[in-house]
Amino acid sequence: MNPSEGPDAASPGEGRRGLFLVIEGVEGAGKSTQVERLVQWLETLGVETVRSREPGGTPLGEAVREVLLDRDELRIGSESELFLMLAARAAFVRDVVRPALERGAVMVADRFEFSTFAYQGYGRGLPLDEVRRLNAFATGGLRPHLVLILDLPAAEGRARQRTAGKVDDRIEASGEGFLERVSRGYRLLAAEDDRAVLVDARLEPGGVEARIRSVLAARFPEPFGTAGGSSTSTLTQPPIPSE
C-alpha cells in the first residue's frame, strides 16, 4: 500500500461505522458558514452529528492552533509548522473522529489532511510524498469518505476577508503568492482523488449549500438521496469511495 493511502474511515468488516465528511478551502471561501449549514441540516434529519475543526477539537489541538495562528513573535519554520499540525491531528483522530465513527455518527470537520497537503505541501513547498507519509502515520491511515473543497480564487477570498474586516493570522499573512499556490494545490488534489469534489464557492451561500446536498445525495443515497422533506433518517454504513 502506498503510504499516502490509508484504510477508509469505514472499512468492511470493522462493524458499525459512521461517515466522515470534511469541508476544505482557501481563506474566505465560506467554510465555517457551510459547516454550520450542513450540521443544522443533518440534525433536522435526526442524524447524530459531531462538528469540529482543525487544528483544534481537543485541548492539545486548540493549544497548537493558538501557537500556529496567533503567536506572531515565534519563528516557526515550515517543518515545525507541519509537525505541529500533525501532532494536533493525531489527537483529533484519536479523541474525536474515531469515537464518533465507532458509534455511527456523522463527523463533520472544518479542515483535515487536504489542508496540510495544500498549505504545507503546495504552499510551503515541502515534499508532498513525505507530507503524505507523515500524515498517514499521524492519522493511523484514517481518511475521510468525502472532501468538499470550496473552490475560490485566492484573491477573491482575500477580498471577502478585507470586506469583513478580518485581521490576518500568521498563516494568512504569508503572502499572495503563498495563497495562490494553496488554491492551485487544492485543485490539483481534487483532480487526483475521487474522494474530493470541487464546489464553486463564488455562488451565494444558499447555492453552495444546495450543491453540497446534491453531492451527498449522489455519493451516499442512504440517507441523503431520499432525505427530501423527511424529518428523520437512519444512517447506514456508506459505500466506500474507491481509491
Does the pLDDT value for residue 15 go beyond 50?
Answer: no
Whether 85 is in a domain gets the answer yes
Yes or no: say if 171 and 158 are a contact pair by the CB < 8 Å rule. no
pTM, 2 dp: 0.86
pLDDT tens digits for range 165-177: 888 888 888 888 9
Could you tell me the three cell numbers for 221?
A: 443515497
Average pLDDT, stretch 100-112? 97
pLDDT score of 238: 44
Whether 6 is in a domain gets the answer no
Asked which of 65-79, 150-164, 228-242 is least confident by mean pLDDT, the reply is 228-242
Whether 11 is in a domain gets the answer no
Whether 129 is in a domain gets the answer yes
What CATH number is associated with residue 27?
3.40.50.300
Q: What average pLDDT is seen over the chain?
A: 87
Q: How many domains does the chain have?
A: 1
Please report where in the chains the cell 423527511 appears, as a residue.
230
pLDDT score of 168: 82
pLDDT tens digits for range 42-60: 999 899 999 999 999 999 9
Whether 147 is in a domain gets the answer yes
Which residue has better confidence, 227 or 115? Answer: 115
Whether 51 is in a domain gets the answer yes
pLDDT score of 226: 63
User: Which residue range(s) make up the domain with 219?
Assistant: 19-225
Average pLDDT, stretch 105-132? 97
pLDDT score of 236: 44
pLDDT score of 127: 98
Whether 243 is in a domain gets the answer no
Please give the DSSP secondary-structure letter assigned to residue 74.
S
**Which residues make beta-bridge pairs with 198?**
149
Percent of residues in the chain assigned helix, strand, coil, to nearest 5: 50, 10, 35
Whether 198 is in a domain gets the answer yes
